[in-house]
């Protein structure tokens, strides 16, 4: 595939080949986690509310008052967060269980590979 685009987009192909492992690292996690790993929406939505309110109240609060307001807004936003899909796999990920293409690799499969 890189041969097809290399003549027209050499820098893009070079970048993709160089970062291939990092770009596809999410395949080493459970398939249920892929959507959460590939999106930045949780970060954006959490700070969107805080950013909106702090712009409106600039100069109206002390530093401590602003920090308190940001903390409270974060706590309110947290109530609307969804649970991670496949949260029951988190313990396995933390303990180092290997996944290949989103599927757990059994001990005997690792030895054969």
- What is residue 94's predicted lDDT score, i.e. its pLDDT? 86
What is the model's pLDDT at position 11? Answer: 93
Convert the pLDDT of each residue in 64-75 to its tens digit: 888 888 888 888
Looking at residue 53, its pLDDT comes to 75
> What is the reported pTM?
0.50
Q: Which two tokens stand for residue 8?
A: 């027209």
Nearest residue to 102 via CA among 38, 32, 23, 47: 32
What is the C-alpha separation between 3 and 43, in angstroms, rounded? 37
Low-confidence ranges of the chain (pLDDT < 50): none
Q: How confident is the model at residue 18, as a pLDDT?
A: 92
State residue 42's pLDDT score: 67
Q: CA separation (Å) from 45 to 51, 78, 87?
A: 10, 10, 20
């Amino acid at each position: 595939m890189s041969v097809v685009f290399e003549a027209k987009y050499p820098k893009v192909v070079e970048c993709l080949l160089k970062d291939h492992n990092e770009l596809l690292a999410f395949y080493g996690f459970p398939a249920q986690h892929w959507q959460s790993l590939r999106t930045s929406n949780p970060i954006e939505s959490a700070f969107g509310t805080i950013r909106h309110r702090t712009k409106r109240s600039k100069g109206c609060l002390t530093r401590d008052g602003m920090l308190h307001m940001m903390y409270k807004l974060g706590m309110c936003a947290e109530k609307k967060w969804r649970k991670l899909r496949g949260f029951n796999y988190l313990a396995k990920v933390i303990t180092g269980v290997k996944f290949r293409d989103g599927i757990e690799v059994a001990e005997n499969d690792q030895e054969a590979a």
